[in-house]
Structure 1
Amino acid sequence: MSAWQFRSPQIWFTMGPQSCEPRVVRELLRAGATGVRLTFSYGSAELQCERARLVRSCASELGVDVVIIADLQGEKCRIACVEGCNEIPVRQGMSARLVFAGAADVQSLVLPLQNPGPIMTIKLGDLIIEGDGAMVFRVEDVSAEGIRVTVQTDGVIRPGRGLLAVSSAFHPNAMTQKDISDLNAVLECGLFDGIAVSFVASPEDIVVARRVMAETGVHLPIIAKIETEQGISNLAEVARAADALMAARGDLALTMNWVELPHSVRAIARAARDAGKPWILATQLMEGLEKFSLPTRAEICDLAQWLGCGAQGVMLSYETAFGSKPVQAVELTRRLVERYGQK
């Protein structure tokens, strides 16, 4: 893909445990996938480069083109892993402490944080979201030692999961040292067609990535993932700086008032159109397949609506990485894209 030559419309799958075997990759490509997202939030750069090599091999066997995207992690705060403990059951109203240093005490709900920087701007009353929104905490106190929170829903806390803050001040760094290292590995291996930069808040985030590329002499198109209020506020400038935009609805719905999500996606579509750039729709396109044999009626209308608004690509996430029906998810997405996508 030179100068971001989009073969519109694109259908990308996210590789994960359910889609990393050669047989499944070939089935996904036969089903209509035109690209794959390899996320550097999990595993090593070496693993993702090896996976890119696998996808290239499968596409070559089938005689099809495939777009391979390196999705850089960005700055991420996580609950530290606790040895021998994958889940901590909690009930609404319970108090927990998220501490900046020290050991975990599961019985007392004292949980250390890894890289707390992104949520250090929170204040009393803000909400902290774990993972994809399964667990919500309300901030009751912030001190030099940590954050005291109240559990807002019955459920389980999962050590190792990421945390996001529902706050206009939430501004994770888009290009950390890890991301720069991963980007250098991507450029060196020569198997990727583009990169996705997470938590893009301003054109400077794109400039940093281009600077790394300039140092190596290898230039790849850049997708700006819009996931925060700051990214929405600077859409016009970001759209001019990037090669494409992604409506990354998963984190975007968690870092702002979720009621505003449709308005934000419309703003992304408008900014991309005004800048003459493609945009990609992501998150929860076909998760209804975990319960039903077809996508939900809401999913059908959702995808058709945004394709009609000019989305030139869609990206499946959980559906193909962890879902039980990855190939069917691609097949049904393809049918909707063929019917409603703009040629």
Structure 2
Amino acid sequence: MADADFSAPPAFEGDTEAEKLISSLRELRAFTDIPPISSRLPISYRRMPGPLRVRLARLIGRWQGRREHHWADFPGWPLDLSTDILSDWLSPRTSPFRDGPTPVVLTHDLDSAEGTRNLLARFLDLEEASGARSTNFVVPAAWPLDHGALEEVKRRGHELAVHGFDHSNRTAFSRPEERRDRLAAAGELIERYAMVGYRAPSLLRTRALLKDLSNIYLYDSSIPTSGGPFPTANNGCATARPFLIEGIAELPLTMPRDGTLRFLGLDGDAILALWRACADQISEAGGVVVLLTHCEETFSGGDQMLDVYKRFLEYITSNSRFRWSSPMEIISKAGLLTKPANSQRLSAEDAAAKLQ
């Protein structure tokens, strides 16, 4: 299209009004304010047998796959960079990630003891062979943690971060005092492993949750760029760049997630092709590549998906437009590094007692 076809952006007094417009678009669908059924059950949904949960999710996902127009209105699927397009048009600031290779961050949600075992047995060697180190989100209070395994992950140069409380999907929607107690329950884990990041279970997040997180953590990574049908329809921030929200740096999940893609019925080759295409598009837009995978066999820990993961690592390593990075490096380069205002941590025992 010829340059003459583009209209000049409106004039703003400074860039305050531009930033307001950009933030409004970014936050339009950034929160999941309506509690899903899983967060309203009298007992945790995780008490349902794992294979049954997976089968139900796949049935729902394949049904949703035929209804994309209902759950991908905005942000679009599988990648929507509308906020970045608007930002480039309105704001004189350029993305700091256009200068040099695109940062790539590997993350895992360790949603079970199996996930932790598979991380060590199947994932870390692959990542280290590629020169990468991953960030791994640990659930503090759902099962007895294997501290020997976690210490090995940390010793090998990988990051550990917090993944909610018990993965019951209730924290974001709890009453303020209960929510803060749930967050505080990770205090000993935070201190032991120098954790500075958080990710909400099932990516369920509210504005109030992020405000509380800003008092404890340096960054959150719970908001997808394009959420697809999970955890709720039409959710995401439509940006592949980090930003500040409710006083905390947000590192968005910029890539389509393994669970969503599997539940929608995509096979391994289709997932790999999609990951490559999205990474390329994010790079061209001056964003950062943030991939979430799960280490359980039903997600990326099985042979087929592990091969897909390995081939994606090889693609990144062989392509000079990308480089491995970490959440803190990205947050720092973006100028979003803040210090928690105060500590709202309890000992695990005190927090558990308050939550009974």
Q: Normalising TM by the smaller chain, what interval? A: 0.3 to 0.5
Q: TM-score, normalised by structure 1?
A: 0.45
Q: TM-score, normalised by structure 2?
A: 0.44
Normalized per residue, which structure has more strand?
1
Q: Which has the higher contact order (CA 8 A, sep 6+)?
A: 2
Normalized per residue, which structure has more helix?
2
